[in-house]
Every structure is written in structure tokens, then in C-alpha cells.
Structure 1
């Protein structure tokens, strides 16, 4: 089979407590329902959920969503260690892609949807990001910043697309739900495109514009 792995990497630091994690948690069942009930989408995609704060952890290992009854919930506490998230992501992707290939699947480059509402509290996270971006299964990263996220940091994390919340026009709660909706649409549309192309000339289908967010340029001098 041809498989496209998606990873949702979500900030679980203390600043996400309350409405932050609540809104993501309320959106996860909708994502699960949308993907798991569409066989042509579920067959071609795999989904994993990683949370990070002081440390990062795999909350949901990479799986076919049609084989799960529900997704785990996020919880908030601790600080914001970007480096730990990138180290765990690299380790997890390497194992997942290796396992899928061993099962005989054709695996497309993984896609990461990264969400944070703040500024990294650890030093040296850029080194961990560079190592993630330079290894053989380096993912395409779409980064979203909400609330107090720093525009320059979100731009640096992304290597495919970056978005920052429009604070004056949308609430953090609405922005978080739009983030989850964009992830769902990307999974569905990418799998649909894969089916239409028969695996030939497949292109990742990610929103150019997400309601409540400003798209950031990734051009670097």
C-alpha cells in the first residue's frame, strides 16, 4: 500500500491549560470521525499524536484511524521544550517509516502539524530541529502559532508552511479549532489526491489560507 504518515505535535505546556487543551481535545473526536469513516482516506494515511511540555511523549502511536475507537486527550503542565519534541519526533518517524517499509508499504515523506502557544524555554532546540530536518526521513513541517507564540520562532520551525494567529480578529479557542480543521482537511484532501493520481504525481494538499491565521513567508536570506 501507499502510505502518507501525519504527525500532530502539540504544545502541552502550562499556558495551554484550560481552554487551550480543551479546544484541541474537543476537536480530536471530529478528526477521528472524519478520517476513520472514510475507507479510501484511512487506508492511505496513518496518524500519530505527540504532546510536549517539559518532556515530549507519544500519546498515540502511528495508526490507521479506522482501527481506533478514540484518540487520547491532551493535558497541560510544565514548560515548553521544543528540543525534546524534535528529538522524539525524529526517533519516532525513523522507527515508524522503517516498520512500514518492512511491511512492504510505499511510504511518502511524513507530514508534521506543529502547534505552540508560546516561546521555547530550552536552549539549543535549533540544533535538534536541524537534525530532524537533515535525516533521511525528514518530514514536511507545517507550523502554527497561537496566543503568545513568536512569529520568528514559528517561521523557523516550519519548512513547508507557517501560520500565526490573527489575534485581533479571532480568539485562541477559534484558532485552535481552525488548526484542527486544517489538519483534517489536509489528511482527507491528500488521500483523495493520492487516489485520483493512482500514486503517480501525488502532491500534498495543505491549505494555503486558514481562517483566523496569517500565512508567513518562509523565504530566508
Structure 2
């Protein structure tokens, strides 16, 4: 049966089932995003009869794959049910004092209520919250907006390590995309909203390498957009390096209107969401009190 046949001999069947041209070259990936050796069988690669793999067409430039072929020895294309995965990455180091964290918790609660009032957001958006300090953790797994209960966040961490966050985001996004597709849903390209008031306390080369592994679509099929917000001691150069789509900074220890950008972008994005895989959109203007950083990384900190 197909599970024990060398995968390379099934290429034409896979391409036909997911709508690729017969000559198309593609990569198969496991739940964690790692590629599958097509010289062996699905059984030898550890994919069981109920397993699912992702199919990513090569040579079409940066894109977000949406097809999955392997389930109960059959191949099938993507579902029409679309999901926009949103990840909030919040600094919880001790410098994010009680007043700041109280404000963040208030904004998270208001974000939930506002999203619940918007049918389109409830229909498409799934939300996850990650926190980071000297380590990183998932405070809220990716959840349908209609079922979200925002966790209370506390600033009690010691450091402000960026690397563990970017590594956790990569593994979490890969697993979430796999699970969404397995449940018959078709995800859009994810988006990460990053907020920090400090410079990274981990090695500069190390966190930048993990950031690249997360955001480079040539190496990670689930590479998200990253919108970065920095204030306090977080420098313009650092925040610009984090934000792949947009970066904002303000010198004061104040995060008012941080969630405004998220809500506005989600509303615009879900309204224009269609058959493509990347509907995410941001306003050109910076939110009140924030400075939009230039698209090219500055040579010196502002």
C-alpha cells in the first residue's frame, strides 16, 4: 500500500491531488516543519496511516503552503475554511513594571471584547499569547476568538532574552499550522505582534540567528509577518531588526494604543481576505504616540 511505497514514486499522484502541475517540484514537511526524505516511504519517515504532511511547492518564491496530502492513505487539497493565526509576544521581564502590565492586561481584555463584537474577526482569527523574559512560554495556545479567555500577565522575569521567544514561536507556529490543517482548516500566513521595553540580554548573534530561522520563508514554511513595538530602553535599531513588516518605537514607558494597530490591521486584513494566502495589511500611519521606524534598518540607534 502507499504508506510503504517510496514517496518519490507517488509524486505524480500527490501533485495531481493537490492541484500542482505534473512536473512540479515540492517539499513534504512533518508537523514540526522539518522536511521529509522522499527517497523513503511514509512509514519509514514515521508518518502513520492517520498522519498528515504539508506540501510546499518549490520554485515559486516566498509563499505560504496550504495543502496536505496524506490522511488515511488518500490525498486531498486544502479546506475552504480560512484561519488567520495571530501571536502576541509580550515582554514580562521585571522592567515591565506593575503599571505597565496592568495596562497591558486591560488592553488584552478590551481586545477580546472588541474582537467578539466583530463577526468577521470571530469567523477568521485565532489568537495566541506568548511571554518572554529569561525564558519563553505559551500563555495562551492558539484559540478561536470566540473561545478566548485572556490570561493575566505578570512582570516577574529576570532577563529579556529574545532568542528563546523566536525559537518557541517557530516550533509553536509549525505545530499550530499542522493542527489547523489536520482539522480541515486552511491558515493564512501568521502574524506576530512583539512588544518589549528592553534590549535583549542574550547573545546578539544567537537571537538574530533564531529570528532569521523564524522569519525567513526560504527556510521556514510558516514564516510569519512580525510587527514590533519597542519603548523604554529598547533601541530603534533593535526593534527594527525584529519587525519584518513594520516597527514602531516610543521613548516613554507607555504602551497606550499598542492594541489599536492590531485591531485596525486585523479588520482591514479580514475584510480583504480572499483566495490568496497573505491578506495581512497595516495602515501607513503610526499609532498615536509611536514613531514608525524606517523600512531599512538604521545605522545607529535613534
Q: Same fold (TM over 0.5)?
A: yes
Deviation, 1:200, is 5.1
Deviation, 1:202, is 6.2
Residues of 1 paired with 2:199 and 2:96: CA distance?
12
Q: 1:53 to 1:106 in 2, by over 3 A?
A: same
Question: Could you say which residue in structure 1 is the equivalent of 2:207?
Answer: 125
Deviation, 1:218, is 2.5
Question: Could you say which residue in structure 2 is the equivalent of 1:44?
Answer: 124
Equivalent position to 1:160, from 235, 240, 245: 245
Aligned length: 211
Q: 1:46 to 1:200 in 2, by over 3 A?
A: same
Q: Deviations over 1:159-207 (max 9, x none)?
A: 1101111x3xxx533xx1211121122222211222xxx4458632223
Does structure 1 residue 12 correspond to structure 2 residue 64? no
User: Unaligned regions of 5+ residues in structure 2, if any?
Assistant: 1-80
Q: Aligned to 1:28, what secondary structure does the other structure show? A: helix
Deviation, 1:29, is 1.0
Q: Aligned to 1:15, what secondary structure does the other structure show? A: coil
Residues of 1 paired with 2:108 and 2:186: CA distance?
27
Q: Aligned to 2:180, what secondary structure does the other structure show? A: helix
Residues of 2 paired with 1:45 and 1:26: CA distance?
20
- Which has the larger Rg? 2
Checking the alignment, whether the CA contact within 8 Å between 1:6 and 1:187 is kept in structure 2 is no
Q: TM-score under structure 1 normalisation? A: 0.90
Residues of 2 paired with 1:158 and 1:38: CA distance?
27
Instruction: Give 1 or 2: higher helix fraction.
Output: 1
Q: 1:201 to 1:127 in 2, by over 3 A?
A: closer
Q: CA RMSD in A?
A: 1.7
Checking the alignment, whether the CA contact within 8 Å between 1:37 and 1:66 is kept in structure 2 is no
Checking the alignment, whether the CA contact within 8 Å between 2:95 and 2:155 is kept in structure 1 is yes
User: Unaligned regions of 5+ residues in structure 1, if any?
Assistant: none
